[in-house]
Structure 1
Amino acid sequence: MATLDGTGGKDIVKVVFEVRACVEKGEMRVTGNTASLGKWNVYNSVKMDRSTEHENIWSVEVVVPVDSLIQYRYVVTRGELGGAFTIVSLETFPEPRAHTCLKSTSVQTLRGEYEVSEAGQSHTGDGWLVSTSELHLQLGTLGSALSISDHPPDTRYLLTIHPFSIKQNKTVDCSPCKAKLLSRTEGDCVTFDLADGGCPYNQQTNLVIFTTESVDFQDTGFSVDVYRIESDCTPPLPIPLSSASKVGRASLFPRQYLGDQTSGQVTLTVFSHLHELLPIGTLSLSFLLIHPVRELPLLHSTKHTYSNCWRQHKRMLHIGHRGLGDSHHPQLKATETENTIASLKMAGNYGADYVEFDVHLTRDHVPVVYHNFLVATTLAREGFFSGELYAMEVKDLTLHQLQSLKLDNSHASGEEVEIPCNCSNKCCCSNKTCCSDNTCCSSSIREIEHEEKRKFPTLENVFHGVPPSLGFNIEVKYPLPERAKDGTVGENYDCFDCNDMADTILKVVDHHAGDRMVIFSCFNPDMCTVLRRKQSKYPVMFLTACLNPIYDDPLDVRAHTMHDAMMHVTAEKLSGIVADSYIFLEDPHLIKVVKERGIVLFSWGDTNNDSATVEMQANAGVDAVICDCIDKAYARARQ
């Protein structure tokens, strides 16, 4: 037998990988655990050939080591490596396909089917961005997007979008635009190519998202043509333009969506179809530009992927809220300080399956674990509380500054306040030997804390300080614009660019997660989309409180109701929803509605500290609950 480089001098055998797959746009590849299959690196995967006799049959011949367990997956890609290359979809079995190739003189053929489903669950999922950026142009996420003179609010529109180059004689270098039609009433989404038709838009019931990909959007603008649908019938999507009358056009230029921030809002003027210089209305768009993140060998490995596969457990899982629980809860104050390594470990010791914690970026771009957006600080003199508080955002302080703060709960306000030590020597604030006379430190913070009890631990240290058997639910702390109940603008925070923040956190996870199970979650719908499009290894869950009366109302309608949440999860291929459990006390039937859609469902909130509420959710099929006092909760579950 011959040998092959990369097999360690072992004998080899020829294997034909053959798969039946309906691929309209793109090509099939196979990737696996041997050198000839690319070592799970999709960039080194093997391109398959389409059969000339059967267009849905793809095959390729590869040499592999004899008597070795061959593991592999099939992947659908579009474009060429080194250019505009995209991973369209891939197999998401919990474990890859496997076959032991025995010594043989004949060629062995491994046949299979792509897009296999079991018990109604698909085992293929969307891939991630590789070399192209993806632009989302969203209508209706912040309310009514289209306002045309003399048109009533319930007018039904038809929209088309076309890219154009702002430079003469230059071709447009982006993929054909796709449309996502999101139904707020059904909680569903339909994705389709626009081709020669348009996308219907009813401002009272729908959202519309246009998407396209490009290596460089620098010279690309977009024209949005607005039509009015005259008839009541709705033909199959896309709707032919002949069924509507043209109203006008709005244009989006690169300078309006390319800048320091890759997400934002822009209002365009709609000009009349009959008189091109006559403004007749406005079109409000939210834009989201998602860039690929490179050099993530763990997250971009095709060996394991969990984003489209949630293992069904014999019981509902328990997730420790901020570790062992909220340190400031008036009735259930945790025995360990929340969001510290000590609290996370203790939750695991008491039986938590996962621990949930919040991750921010510091001013020097270090991911740290802390709950609030703000830190209340005061100028301390000789360790005495000055009484005057200064609220600072976590993102405005460096890691050193944050970890130099000490918690003091002794003042009259009862709020958590960070007291900076003004000692010039190495003292307890830096976890070193305290200065000789201790005058710099108040009695409440004089004691040296153990590293595991330190506030603001880095995400990297948390990965290394907590046993790998304990799963992590990482809530990415990205603000969601809100409005107070009285109609005024709520408390909104500045933030890092969503791509920069996601990339920084993903790189830490890639380098330090190892075999640990990780789940991402966020209240901001766009950040959920960003996290999902940059990787497909770990599940991304959409956090929502809906319109809970005790919180300010989110401006983004995707966070208003459970049907809105389902709509967003379906549109962006997220894994599931993490909902405030008060919603299920108001309407328990919603649990069944979500689960029938195949959506993973977690819950959070103070009501999860009530055993009867948790038991109701367990019986109804909720997959996991996030709660305080995990020691008591898990003890009840075992009973």
Structure 2
Amino acid sequence: MLDTLMCYQTCSNPQKVSYAKYWDSSWTGLEVGHRGLGASFKTKEGNAIRENTIASLKKAAASGADLLEFDVQLSKDMIPVIYHDFYVCISMKRKKEIEFTEMLELPVKDLTLEHLQKLKVYHLVEGRSKETLFFDDDLDEHQPFPTLEDALKAIDIHVGFNVELKWTMEMNDGTFELNNPFDMNTYVDKVLEVVLKHAGERRIVFSCFNPDICTMVRNKQNKYPVMFLTVGITNKYQPYRDPRCLSIPAAVQSAVSSDLLGIVVHTEDLLRDPTQP
């Protein structure tokens, strides 16, 4: 970790200005495009544009979003790509053949960038329902798995990014969202390398549900703020095992101890008890 940290601080000095603890008082009621224009697989109707794509990010930016939120993972060849779920479905059919054969669910991390971008890849919702929801194979900017570098270069520099770092979490029943992930240090370093090289003057906020990832990102760089994502007390989602994730006060304590900018809270717990700190 120390070698990587020194490299980030000396290579063309990308951290000579720090916003890690800065939040302008005028930044209230910011419009944030979740996965770009919004989640497209939550309901059958969904959005007309596939989530977490360049097209979705551009549309949200054109619609007035101040920040664009999206999820970043690593492909097998360790390239930061934008995608929400840890798993995808693939079939042996070519892209323009819509008949379904046996679907295979594979972790994103087990497929190279070339595989992710050239194979016919289905969202889990499509694979499990055997129903194609998007017919956009001829539209380059509508394709899933753009790289983080693609997004930094394609979207107007004046639009900020909320880069959610997708990292596997242990559930309260002892299972993990994803087994055998990359080395945590490697994952964080690969993402930071791209951001520090290509972000320029863009406003960047890092966020993650994993408190250890948040601490690591905060310690590895001092340019961009880090926010701890927390669901808190919930009836909607399966809870995580980590006690730092189980309530808003616990999340606040963790964020303070790691010198993070703050927390991002799911509305369910706020509505349950608006008096929480």
Task: Indicate whether the TM-score tops 0.5.
Answer: yes
What is the deviation of 1:538? 0.2
| Residue number in structure 2 paired with 1:571 | 257
Greater helix proportion: 2
Note closer, same or farther for the CA distance 1:415–1:386 as it changes in structure 2 (3 Å cut): closer
Give the SS at the match of 1:328: coil
Alignment deviations for residues 259-297 of structure 1 (CA, whole Å, 9 cap, x no partner): xxxxxxxxxxxxxxxxxxxxxxxxxxxxxxxx6351454
1:337 equivalent in alignment to 2:23: no
Question: Can you list the C-alpha shifts for 1:403-445, whole angstroms capped at 9, x where unaligned?
Answer: 0133568979546779xxxxxxxxxxxxxxxxxxxxxxxxx75
Q: Secondary structure at the match of 2:7?
A: coil
How far apart are the structure 1 equivalents of 2:45 and 2:269? Answer: 22
Give the secondary structure class of the aligned counterpart of 1:343: helix
Distance 1:390 1:344 in 2: 28
Deviation at 1:358, TM superposition (A): 0.3
Q: 1:587 to 1:331 in 2, by over 3 A?
A: farther
Is 1:460 aligned to 2:149, yes or no? yes
CA contact (8 A) 2:206 2:225 kept: yes
Preserved CA contact (<8 Å) 2:218 2:226? yes
Match in the other structure for 2:103: 389
Residue in 2 aligned with 1:370? 83
8 Å CA contact 1:541–1:578 kept in 2: the answer is: yes
> 1:341-366: CA deviations, max 9, x gaps?
11111111111110100001011010
Q: CA deviation at 1:314?
A: 6.0
For 2:184 and 2:122, how far apart are their aligned partners in 1?
32
1:583 aligns with 2:269: yes
Question: For 2:36, which of 323, 341, 346 is the aligned residue?
Answer: 323
Contact 2:168 2:177 survives alignment (8 Å): no
* Rounded Cα–Cα distance in structure 2 between residues aligned with 1:398 and 1:408: 16
Structure 1's 448 and 563: CA in aligned 2 closer, same or farther, altered over 3 A? closer
After the TM superposition, which residues 156-305 of structure 1 pair with which residues of structure 2 at under 5 Å, given as runs? Answer: 292=5, 294-295=7-8, 297=11, 300-302=14-16, 304-305=17-18
Q: Is the 8 A contact 2:231 2:266 kept in 1?
A: yes
The answer on 1:474 being equivalent to 2:163 is yes
> Residue 405 of structure 1 aligns to which amino acid in structure 2?
L
Q: What is the letter of the counterpart of residue 532 of structure 1?
A: R
Structure 2 CA distance for partners of 1:399 and 1:417, relative to 1, 3 Å: farther
Shift of residue 332, structure 1, vs aligned partner: 6.7
5+ residue gaps, structure 1 = 1-128, 132-290, 419-443, 594-639
Query: Distance in 1 between the 2:126 and 2:258 partners?
Result: 46
Write the distance in 2 (CA, Å) between the matches of 1:542 and 1:313.
21
Matches within 5 A, 1:31-50: none
309-318 or 409-418, which moves further after superposition?
409-418
Question: Are 1:519 and 2:221 an aligned pair?
Answer: no
CA contact (8 A) 2:70 2:82 kept: yes
Q: C-alpha separation between the residues in 1 aligned to 2:130 and 2:257?
A: 40
Kindly, what percent of the aligned residue pairs are identical?
A: 37
CA distance in 1, matches of 2:85, 2:260: 25
Inter-partner Cα distance in structure 1 for 2:19 and 2:150: 24
Match of 1:559 in 2: 245
1:114-173 Cα shifts (integer Å, max 9, x gaps): xxxxxxxxxxxxxxx755xxxxxxxxxxxxxxxxxxxxxxxxxxxxxxxxxxxxxxxxxx
**1:494 CA drift (Å):** 2.3
User: Quick check: which has more Rg, 1 or 2?
Assistant: 1
- Counterpart CA distance in 2 for 1:467 and 1:574 is 27
The 3 A distance-change label for structure 1 pair 412 and 294 is: closer
TM-score (norm 1): 0.40
Amino acid at match of 1:528: C
* Displacement after TM superposition at 1:509 (Å): 0.4
Q: Which has the higher contact order (CA 8 A, sep 6+)?
A: 2
Secondary structure at the residue paired with 1:537? coil
**Rounded Cα–Cα distance in structure 1 between residues aligned with 2:76 and 2:46:** 30
Query: How many residues get paired?
Result: 274
Summarize the Cα distance change of 1:491–1:503 in structure 2 as closer, same or farther, 3 Å threshold.
closer
Q: Distance in 1 between matches of 2:20 and 2:131?
A: 37
Correspondence 1:409-424 to 2 at 5 A: 413-414=128-129
TM-score in terms of structure 2 length:
0.89
Q: 1:501 to 1:489 in 2, by over 3 A?
A: closer
Equivalent position to 1:311, from 15, 21, 24: 24
CA distance in 1, matches of 2:169, 2:127: 31
| 2:171–2:241 Cα contact (<8 Å) kept | yes
SS of the residue 2:89 aligns to: strand
CA distance in 1, matches of 2:179, 2:8: 30
SS across alignment from 1:292: helix
Tell me, in whole angstroms, the C-alpha distance in 1 between the residues paired with 2:8 and 2:218.
16
User: Matched residue of 1:356: which SS?
Assistant: strand
Is the Cα contact below 8 Å between 1:308 and 1:539 reproduced in 2? yes
**Where do 1:78-89 residues align within 5 Å?**
none
SS at match of 2:157: coil
How large is the RMSD of aligned CA atoms in angstroms? 2.6
Check 1:339–1:313 CA distance in 2 against 1; reply closer, same or farther (3 A cut).
same
Report SS of the residue matched to 1:553. coil
Report if aligned partners of 2:161, 2:205 keep a CA contact under 8 Å in 1. Answer: yes
After TM superposition, give the deviation of residue 551 of structure 1 in Å. 1.7
- Quote the Cα distance in structure 2 between the aligned partners of 1:412 and 1:354: 31
> Aligned partners of 1:471 and 1:356: how far apart in 2?
9
Conserved? CA contact 1:490–1:552, under 8 Å: no
Aligned to 2:66: 353
